[in-house]
Amino acid sequence: MPTVLLVRHGRTTANASGVLAGWTPGVLLDDHGVQQAQSLAQRLGVVPVSAVVSSPLERCRQTAEHLTSVPGPKGGARPDIVTDERLGECRYGDWTGRELKTLVKDPLWKVVQQHPSAAVFPGPEGESMRSMQQRALDAVRDWDARVAAEHGDDAVWVAVSHGDVIKAILADAVGAHLDEFQRITVSPASVSAVRYTATRPFLLRSNDGGGDLSAFVPPARRRRKPPARGADAVVGGDA
């Protein structure tokens, strides 16, 4: 099956000031975040990308635009950016726009830290963390199947999303309960990689902030069709 590169947006003005942005409109990358996105675009330049799917929020679309501004291998054009609301930030409800130093005093903060599967954010637009994880997983698996059908099992595609959303996807990939997802770190403009198979996902990389991405270049096509990558884990470790 294809490999999805999960990209968190670059640093924003809200990140830098300690504000929980959520779905607040108009939150953009700061200067450092732009540099992060541009650097990632250069690193990603060696990888042929079959699709770029982004959260509709500006900070993710801005990051995706930087990623697609650099041509792919041999100068190939990048695919158009498609947005999917299911990759959008968790809907933090009444917590949206508030400073983290204030939210840490809220009793719900401990629930989010210790038992996030029970966390439901306050207010009419508040969402549960369980719902956030489920919609994000639905989006990733739907797009993964679509990319496989259109481009084959060796294809690579990019999903640009948010820290908590990507952490929830990675927790599922390693078979961890959502209550353990706070153990995972997903930094701005980092890359994490997952390959889904018929039996299990494989976590290929997590929170990569500067590594070589050439390992994700698909193998050269052969006249004779190569055997499909298996769903079994290699006993003793891969070579």
Q: Where are the domains of the chain?
A: 3-207
Token pair 């726009």: residue: 97
Distances (CA, A) of 142 to 86, 131, 138, 202: 11, 16, 6, 17
Q: What is the model's pLDDT at position 238?
A: 63
Output the pTM of the full model: 0.93
DSSP H helices in the chain: 13-17, 31-44, 58-69, 100-103, 107-114, 129-151, 163-173
Query: Which 3 state secondary structure label does DSSP give 163?
Result: helix
Residues listed for the chain: 239
In CATH terms, 3-207 corresponds, of 3.40.640.10, 3.40.50.261, 1.10.10.10, 3.40.50.1240, to: 3.40.50.1240
Tens-digit pLDDT profile for residues 169-189? 999 999 999 999 999 999 999
Residue 160: which of 188, 201, 182 has the closest Cα?
188
Q: What is the model's pLDDT at position 168?
A: 98
**Per the structure block, which two tokens stand in for 219?**
């193998």
Q: What is the model's pLDDT at position 31?
A: 98
Instruction: Name, in order, each residue with C-beta under 8 angstroms of 22's C-beta and a sequence gap of 6 or more.
Output: 89, 90, 91, 92, 95, 96, 97
Residue 119 · residue 108 · CB < 8 Å: yes
Beta bridge partners of 81: 52
Q: What is the C-alpha separation between 207 and 173, in angstroms, rounded?
A: 14
Q: What is the model's pLDDT at position 104?
A: 97
Q: What is the C-alpha separation between 2 and 72, in angstroms, rounded?
A: 18
Q: What is the C-alpha separation between 187 and 207, in angstroms, rounded?
A: 6
Q: What is the C-alpha separation between 28 and 60, in angstroms, rounded?
A: 9
Query: Which 3 state secondary structure label does DSSP give 206?
Result: strand
Q: What is the model's pLDDT at position 228?
A: 53
Q: What is the model's pLDDT at position 98?
A: 97
The list of the chain residues with pLDDT below 70 reads 221-239
Tens-digit pLDDT profile for residues 4-14? 999 999 999 99
